[in-house]
Chain A
Amino acid sequence: MVVKIRLARFGRRKAPFYNIVVAQARTARNSKPIEVLGTYDPIPKAPIDGEGKKWKDVKLDSARAKYWLGVGAQPSDPAWRLLSMAGLLEPKYRPKA
């Protein structure tokens, strides 16, 4: 069976919050995963001083993520996006020029 690195949606209605999880591909989205690698909060937060860009918070254990990638875990597209931003993978999709 395939082990995937994917996002599990938690939070409330219109207030999404994701756990970045390692789970068996055929288990339910929010079922108990093999491991929780981190979190992703997709709601942009305003910077404290009011200047600069809004930011999104990602918490990730990159060492464990590397291990799971090393043993063949397959990231889903959104997970791939986050992991590539963290510098663990080659980006799958690049913005067209």
Chain B
Amino acid sequence: MPPPLRCTSSLPSTCVKQLCRAGQSTRSFSTTPRQDQRITRNRRQLFRWLGSQGQNFLNPLNGSTNYLGAYNAQGQLKRVVEAAAEAERKKKKEEGKANEPANSSASESGESEEAKEFKGEIPPETTRDLTPFPLNKSFVSQPVLSDDLREEIWKRVMQDGKSVRVVSAELGVEMSRVGAVVRLKEIEKEWEQTGRPLAKPYHEAVMSMLPKTPYDPTGRTNAKPHESINDLPVHRKTGTQIFHPTSESRHFTREDAAKVFDERLLPADLRVPHPELAEMHKDYKAGLSQEERQQRQMERDEIAERKRQRAEAKKAKKEAAVKKVDTGRVEFRFTEISVDAAGKDGRGFKGVGWRYGHPHMDRSRGTVKIPTSVE
């Protein structure tokens, strides 16, 4: 949709001129009568747009996004115009300074550097340049993970054996996204192995048009985080508005607040995706030295590791107690139980099997018989 413009087209190309020719249809297949194709204001504006702003979309920028919001009415990149104006202003300032006899040589070198910087490459996009729809300023195109970064995520999880949590904190990518990247990368690699063709040209074309989060291989952590990773997820129980009177002298913490919402709701500190980052920051705020903080972090890691191992051992033990018999089509899993668990009357809640002597729940009155969820 061409926006209403009042601009003078600076470089109308020949093709646009042709299209503009008065009252003529260049299309042999057009069934519209010629007199209906007279030049209207809208038509004129369309071709003017095609000659100015539209040109930029015919020959898109290399290595940058190319959204409508990034151009002014004359079809010039806003950020380039601004950088030029800035350079000009600086130049003038430098010249003013250069008139003073003291530091002329230094100012000259600085000015030439800046001019080079501006002329050399297009300045990076700001939020304003990432709006595909100029009338909807709140729609900002969000960056996607670059190829390098996705490869690095896969490498750290699958080859270095790091946990998803650690990789997420290091690279500034949400845990769910890390998981998704690893799964999709696995599929991609499997397809490459089996020789299944990948839609590479399509992928490259799309990636060249989108803003990307680059991977910085210099450090362990990525210089530019992809997204905010420690956002508190909204729990349904916290949606209600509660007026909870409490005495002024009481120390009302986040734990208490969680209890007010629901007895079993965890405090916000524990519900965030990375509580360990909050702990680290607390240590930092407490003014502990680097060594102390590292020591405390290591202790916490150790405790977490022990907990994980215990859970794993418990699971393995439970798994080992199940006898598996493969009959070809299906596997039978035999779990050992105790007859005595049912108790003397055979109705103990730990006992297995269908109960005798009292009706099943779905026979009772007033209960919902229609399942509320399907699994």
Using a CB–CB cutoff of 8 Å, the interface residues on chain A facing chain B are 8, 10-11, 17, 19, 32-33, 35-39, 44, 52-62, 64, 82, 85-87, 95
Q: Per a CB cutoff under 8 Å, which of B330, B356, B357 touches A44? A: B330
Contact yes or no, A19 B337, CB < 8 A: no
Most buried by A among B328, B331, B354: B354
B375 to chain A, nearest CB (A): 11
Q: Other CB < 8 Å A-B pairs besides A38-B353, A59-B335, 19 of them?
A: A36-B346, A53-B326, A54-B331, A55-B331, A55-B332, A56-B330, A56-B333, A58-B332, A58-B333, A59-B336, A59-B337, A59-B353, A60-B334, A60-B336, A60-B337, A61-B336, A61-B338, A86-B323, A86-B325
Please measure, in the bound complex, the distance between the C-alpha atom of A37 and the C-alpha atom of B334, giving whole angstroms. Answer: 12
Contact yes or no, A57 B337, CB < 8 A: no
Contact yes or no, B339 A64, CB < 8 A: yes
Q: How many A-B residue pairs have CB under 8 A?
A: 73
Q: Per a CB cutoff under 8 Å, which of B329, B334, B346, B351 touches A58? A: B334
Shortest Cβ distance from A67 into B: residue: B339
Contact yes or no, B335 A36, CB < 8 A: no
Please measure, in the bound complex, the distance between the C-alpha atom of A57 and the C-alpha atom of B324, giving whole angstroms. Answer: 10
Q: Per a CB cutoff under 8 Å, which of B331, B346, B353, B357 touches A56? A: B331
Please measure, in the bound complex, the distance between the C-alpha atom of A58 and the C-alpha atom of B327, giving whole angstroms. Answer: 14
Please measure, in the bound complex, the distance between the C-alpha atom of A85 and the C-alpha atom of B336, giving whole angstroms. Answer: 13
Shortest Cβ distance from A85 into B: residue: B325
Most buried by B among A35, A39, A44, A55: A55
A56 to chain B, nearest CB (A): 5
Which residues of B are found within 8 Å of A8, using beta-carbon distances? 354
Which residues of B are found within 8 Å of A85, using beta-carbon distances? 325, 327, 332, 334
Q: Per a CB cutoff under 8 Å, which of B331, B335, B353 touches A53? A: B331
A6 to chain B, nearest CB (A): 13
Q: List residues 86-122 of chain B with CB under 8 A from any CB of chain A.
A: none
Contact yes or no, A59 B330, CB < 8 A: no
Which residues of A are found within 8 Å of B327, using beta-carbon distances? 85
Contact yes or no, B354 A10, CB < 8 A: yes
Which residues of A are found within 8 Å of B326, using beta-carbon distances? 53
Contact yes or no, B332 A36, CB < 8 A: no
Please measure, in the bound complex, the distance between the C-alpha atom of A60 and the C-alpha atom of B339, giving whole angstroms. Answer: 9
